[in-house]
Amino acid sequence: MDNDTYIDSLKAKLPEDPKEAIETLLKEAATAEKRRRDTQSSYTKTRQENLRLAKEREYLMNQVSPSVKASEELDTLKFEDPDKW
């Protein structure tokens, strides 16, 4: 929902009494702020989890890479110099 549509729907909900209108607006503002905080919290948690997973992936790739290189060297050696293999 874009801002203009939201404002129009809010205007339609406002009561005639100014005090009630203010209460309604305050409730809507509180709800919007809670949604914003929840969204920001979710975004932050997701971002932190992505960073953690990226570091874990990098660590695991570094653990696997030496064994892959050694494996490739052994395969090469198997065909080039079977006695050393």
pLDDT digits (tens, 9 = 90+) for 36-54: 999 999 999 999 999 999 9
CA 18 to CA 35: how far, in whole Å?
Answer: 26
Q: Three-class SS of residue 1?
A: coil
Q: Measured between alpha carbons, how far is 24 from 10 in angstroms, rounded to an integer? A: 9
pTM of the model: 0.56
- Taking only the tens place, the pLDDT of each residue in 8-21 is 887 888 888 889 98
What six digits make up the tokens of 72? 């490739």
- In whole angstroms, give the CA distance from residue 59 to residue 66: 12
> What span, in angstroms and rounded, lies between the C-alpha atoms of 73 and 57?
24
Least confident stretch, 19-23, 26-30, 70-74:
70-74
Q: How far from the centroid of its chain's Cα atoms is residue 9's Cα?
A: 31
